[in-house]
Amino acid sequence: MRRYKRFLADVELDDGRCLTAHTPNTGSMRGCAEPGSRVWLRDTGSSTRKYPFSWELVEACPGVLVGINTLLSNGLVREAIEEGVVRELAGYPEIRAEVRYGQENSRIDLLLEGKDTPCYVEVKNVTLVEEGVAMFPDAVSARGTKHLRELTAVVRNGGRGVIFYCVQRGDAREVRPADAIDPAYGEQLRASLDAGVEALAYVARVTTEGVELRYSLPIHCP
């Protein structure tokens, strides 16, 4: 019915009852929060949460399910790396999460170790797709721009830095920076890539049974 205060959504169930669900997504959810959209909720079973139901999926357009839970993206990427799906990041025997690093008080999503050069992986969840083009961010993201600066510093100091776009919907053909939404992010992304930061994008298969990263997408950043 509506999304408000960023983390809340009023939903009408099939039986006509209405409830308020927690929305685990800090972005604008452009194209994924239209009133009247069909959604799927998860009952956490918690007796202590004020809002025990969590909004997990939305049918953004006919037949296209989108995973809106940004908290899943780090785990999805880690699982894909460990199972060998992400060939570009193979061969690292150790993975740590939420490790402090950088000069701007940051935490890296995934730190891959065990090779001569550690690999810092910053994961971004992508839900905005227009005409087959997945775009990030869906709102101005000073935090996302900061993370690109941190990855650039990692590379300049001899490390490996990767920005990883986790696309939680199956109708994307490519990924681009959302220059019309946040031109500063697009500018920093181009500068970071020129400095040696790597960019990867993988698309997920999203069903009511689960979400799983499947294959890579090209990234166009002209």
Q: With cut-offs at 50, 70 and 90, classify the pLDDT of residue 118.
A: very high
Pairwise CA distance, residues 197 & 153, whole Å: 9
Res. 222: pLDDT tops 90: no
Mean pLDDT of 99-111: 96
Tokens of 155: 């590379």
Domain architecture of the chain: domains with CATH: 2-67 (2.40.50.580), 70-216 (3.40.1350.60)
Check the CA dihedral 149-150-151-154 and report its sign. Answer: positive
Q: How many CB atoms lie within 10 A of CB 77?
A: 28
Tokens of 18: 């209405």
Pairwise CA distance, residues 74 & 94, whole Å: 15
Question: How high does pLDDT run on average in the chain?
Answer: 96
